[in-house]
Amino acid sequence: MRAIVPSTARIAALLCLAAAFASADAHDDVIEVVTSLAGALTEVNVTRFMAAFSKDMPDYGTIEKDVTALVNQAEVSSSIQPLTEDGNDQMYKIDLDWFLEVRSLEQDGPLVRRREVVHCELRKDQTRKNKPHWKIVAIKPLDFFALPKLGQ
């Protein structure tokens, strides 16, 4: 009687395929997170913007304060384009070409345009067992989200 034993090559191929699917899922999930950031700024939704960040992240309070001031004192439009990314099913790094237009709420107020490469590091948050989700644990440059001096 012949024993059915999967070959090493077959096992390796299956593991590579599983890793590729996990990586594709991670990519899609991370893109969803960063896209929601850009949308939240445009929609003046600080709560949704901050939901993408780990509350344990250094400078969490600074980002929250800056984004709150930004959307309360200016009209913001935001767009992102992924440039580079690297990661796995637990950690992910992505560089974004981020464009912001910040217009003063004053009539005929100034318009400030910002465009920078924003570096984000994300980690899968396992606290929700039924659906783990990605959280930003580091973002640079922090001052990208600071309110510009619109009245000067």
Would 150 be classed as within a structural domain?
no
Would 151 be classed as within a structural domain?
no
- One-letter amino acid identity for 51? A
Please give the Cα distance from 51 to 33 (Å, whole number).
9
Please give the Cα distance from 113 to 134 (Å, whole number).
29
Extract the runs of DSSP E, i.e. beta strands, from the chain: 74-87, 91-104, 111-125, 133-140
- Which tens digit of pLDDT belongs to each residue from 65-106? 999 999 998 999 999 999 999 999 899 999 999 999 999 888
Would 1 be classed as within a structural domain?
no
Q: What is the pTM of this model?
A: 0.78
Measuring CA to CA, which residue among 79, 78, 94, 75 is closest to residue 29? 94
Would 57 be classed as within a structural domain?
yes
